[in-house]
Amino acid sequence: MGRNLFNLKELSITEIEAILDQATVFLNAKNHKKFAGKIACNLFFEPSTRTQYGFQVAEMNLDIKAIGFNPEASSLKKEESFYDTIKTFDAFGADLLVIRHPSNGYYEQLAGKIETPIINAGDGTGDHPTQSLLDLLTIRQEFGSFNGLSVVMVGDIAHSRVVHTNFEAMKRLGMQVYTSGPEECRQNELNFIPLTQALSRCDVVIMLRIQHERHGKRLCMATDEYNSKYGLNHENVSLMKPNAIIMHPAPINRNVEIIDELVECGRSRIFKQVKNGVFIRMAAVKYALEAD
Ligand code: NCD
């Protein structure tokens, strides 16, 4: 009954494409009340706007009752463990748990112990499968397919779960995948490329927020210095290919990784990503609930 979605490595290309197809069906459908009577618990142990409330909207679109969770007002404050908190929601008899947690691979301690299907909404610097799926849907809408496209992810590579999920999945889908950004945020095995080269070569440019909360100390650099070296601005945006697009998982630090005027420019698909996120999350919920 039901199945987990922890990361994209466990899905075949056919399964990934099937979730994108299902999201497209939801995007085009007027009426999709499907899971009346089901209950989903959205258990976010880290702050979140798009993922948390996007899941809530997705669940409501499917007629699922959604329960939110405030760690500050829970028995975590009485030193209850993460494991016992999740066991409790499992015992409630909910139909789905959507979990975000700062520890990489938090779900490993739950596998086999929790009956309710779990969707991973982000684990530390590990994975973020629904973000990656919505990125893929946005790219497929734009270019029709993946094979032969080039993508660069720019910014805090080492601390980004978005990069870690996208890199593997995009390569498997036949894309040429590069990363760029400050030296202290690099991961050498992830195909580094200088930003100016990347901008003239890539069809998709994904900008990223510096994950200050995952650094020992704050990365010390003035905002305008960061933008001129590693961000998108009026000068370097002109290097991009005519049909290339700008994406960002958000939250955005305007004028740091991307200047204010470019966030909603003609090349930007940033708010389209947010919209696609609702339909991807509906498809992910359907995937988790409908396993046989
Ligand atoms: C990302 C995340 O939480 O990993 N945001 C998101 O889910 N849309 C990226 C980030 O926080 O910078």
How does pLDDT run across 76-104, given as a tens digit for each residue? 999 999 999 999 999 999 999 999 999 99
Task: Indicate which atom in ligand 1 lies nearest the CA of residue 156.
Answer: 12
Distance, in Å, from the CA atom of 73 to the CA atom of 51, rounded to the nearest integer, reads 20
Does 129-269 match 13-127+275-289 at the fold level? Answer: yes
User: pLDDT tens digits, residue range 25-45?
Assistant: 999 997 787 899 999 999 999
Centre of ligand 1 to C-alpha 71, Å, is: 19
**What is the pLDDT, as a whole number, of residue 30?**
78
**What is the pLDDT, as a whole number, of residue 260?**
97
Q: What is the mean pLDDT of the chain?
A: 96
Percent of the chain with pLDDT over 90: 91
**What is the pLDDT, as a whole number, of residue 27?**
96
Question: Is a pLDDT exceeding 80 seen at residue 219?
Answer: no
CATH T-level assignment (fold) for domain 129-269: Rossmann fold (3.40.50)
**What is the pLDDT, as a whole number, of residue 292?**
54
Centre of ligand 1 to C-alpha 209, Å, is: 8
The CATH homologous superfamily for domain 13-127+275-289 is Aspartate/ornithine carbamoyltransferase (3.40.50.1370)
Instruction: From 165, 97, 156, select the one nearest 130 (Cα to Cα).
Output: 165
Distance, in Å, from the CA atom of 181 to the CA atom of 154, rounded to the nearest integer, reads 5
Amino acid at 144: G
Centre of ligand 1 to C-alpha 126, Å, is: 12
Residues with CB under 6 A from ligand 1: 50-51, 122, 128, 131, 161-162, 209, 211, 249-250
Centre of ligand 1 to C-alpha 211, Å, is: 9
- Calculate the alpha carbon distances from 8 to 94, 147, 161, 191 in Å: 24, 18, 12, 20
Instruction: From 151, 275, 284, 137, select the one nearest 208 (Cα to Cα).
Output: 151
Are 128 and 159 spatial neighbours (Cβ–Cβ below 8 Å)?
A: no
Ranges of each domain in the chain: 13-127+275-289, 129-269
